[in-house]
Amino acid sequence: MGKPLRSADHTRRWVTALAALAVLVACVSAGGIAFSILCLIAALGCLGEYQRLVRGAERVRFLDPWALSGYAAAAALAAAAHAGLGAAMLAVPALHLVCCGALCLRGFPSNRSVLEEAARQVLGVTYLALPLGLFVVLRASPQGLIWVLLTCAVVFAGDSTAFYVGNRLGKRKLAPAISPGKTVEGALGGLAASLLVGWAGAAFFLPGISGLGGALFGVLVGLAGQVGDLFESCWKRAAGVKDSGSLLPGHGGILDRLDALLFAAPVAFGLRLWLAPA
């Protein structure tokens, strides 16, 4: 069984979640520049927390060239996504790689760890900024409002259900070496909730998508979200920290809240192209 939730933790978690949800729904509904700015802020926040995870808080400085290259790439990706420039979105990560390669030349061969530094920086932009850029493109697509909200609903329903099912009924550990609190029962409950939300969302709001297509969307997006959650836990475990940050009471950092969406967004983007290519 999971540990019982303390009332204060439960309340703090829900207050934070509802406040963040209100901001998200408002920006997604507005679309355009509002949603693009929200995704950019989220990308920059995630990159800052990622920097502290992979480099240590004592080594992270705002004017550090490694950090600045990542922030610049995130801004360029958000701008390209907002403008609908798909080719530019492909070019940004490649240009960021070039910048990281140039930074390596300053320290190599006296400091061979710069190669690992470059690899972490390239991964950071691909892992954090690119999926949020795809989210912007998804919002600008036909029925983009529905697709983005459905993706968020699938992920959030799965995450919340997994949390409570695992807390109440969980017995078998899912990945104890990575995230000791997660259980097989919680993961299955979360996938069931994601499937149900995906099916219902397609049935009520996307008449061109079959019930099977909606259910498939829910399962695959929900599964990707769970993988994203565990992937971030790997980074936290490697860094020896419980949360990526402390900005969001009851949830930790921005990356802690968005870890599942970062993996779900590319899957949702690809499924939307497959299920509704027009």
- In angstroms, rounded to a whole number, what is the distance separating the alpha carbons of residues 198 and 200? 6
Whether residue 98 sits in one domain with residue 75: yes
Q: How far is 47 from 44, CA to CA, in rounded Å?
A: 5
Whether residues 19 and 84 fall in one domain: no
Write down which residue in 140, 157, 186 finishes a domain: 140
> Quick one: 40 and 130 in the same domain?
yes
Final residue before a domain boundary, out of 92, 109, 140: 140
pLDDT at site 35: 97
Nearest-angstrom CA–CA distance, 185 and 174: 8
Q: Encoding tokens for residue 208?
A: 């061109």
Q: Are residues 225 and 105 in the same domain?
A: no
> Based on the structure, what is the number of domains in the chain?
2
Domain with 134, as residue range(s), is: 31-140
- 17 with 87, same domain: the answer is no
Query: Does one domain contain both 70 and 101?
Result: yes
- Residue 132 and residue 256 in one domain: no
* Residue 266: cis peptide before it, omega within 30 degrees of 0: no
Q: 3-class SS at 26?
A: helix
Last residue within a domain, chosen from 113, 140, 167: 140
Say yes or no: 72 and 101 in one domain: yes
Cα distance between residue 73 and residue 68, in whole Å: 8
Query: CA angle at residue 121 from 118 to 126, to 5 degrees?
Result: 125
Domain match, 1 and 73 both: no
93: burial class by Cβ within 10 Å (0-12, 13-18, 19+)? middle
Give the contacts of 199 (CB within 8 A, at least 6 positions apart): 211, 214, 215, 218
CB 251 within 8 A of CB 261: no
pTM tops 0.85, yes or no: yes
If asked whether residues 2 and 133 sit together in one domain, one would say no
Q: Is the CB of residue 202 less than 8 Å from the CB of residue 213?
A: yes
Do 157 and 238 have their domain in common? yes
- pLDDT (tens, 9 = 90+) of the chain, 278 residues, equals 344 555 666 677 777 778 888 999 999 999 999 999 999 999 999 999 999 898 876 666 667 888 899 999 999 999 999 999 989 999 999 999 999 999 888 877 777 788 888 999 999 999 999 999 999 999 999 999 999 999 999 999 999 999 889 989 988 999 999 998 899 999 999 999 999 999 999 999 999 899 999 999 999 999 999 999 999 999 999 989 888 887 776 667 899 999 999 999 999 999 999 998 86
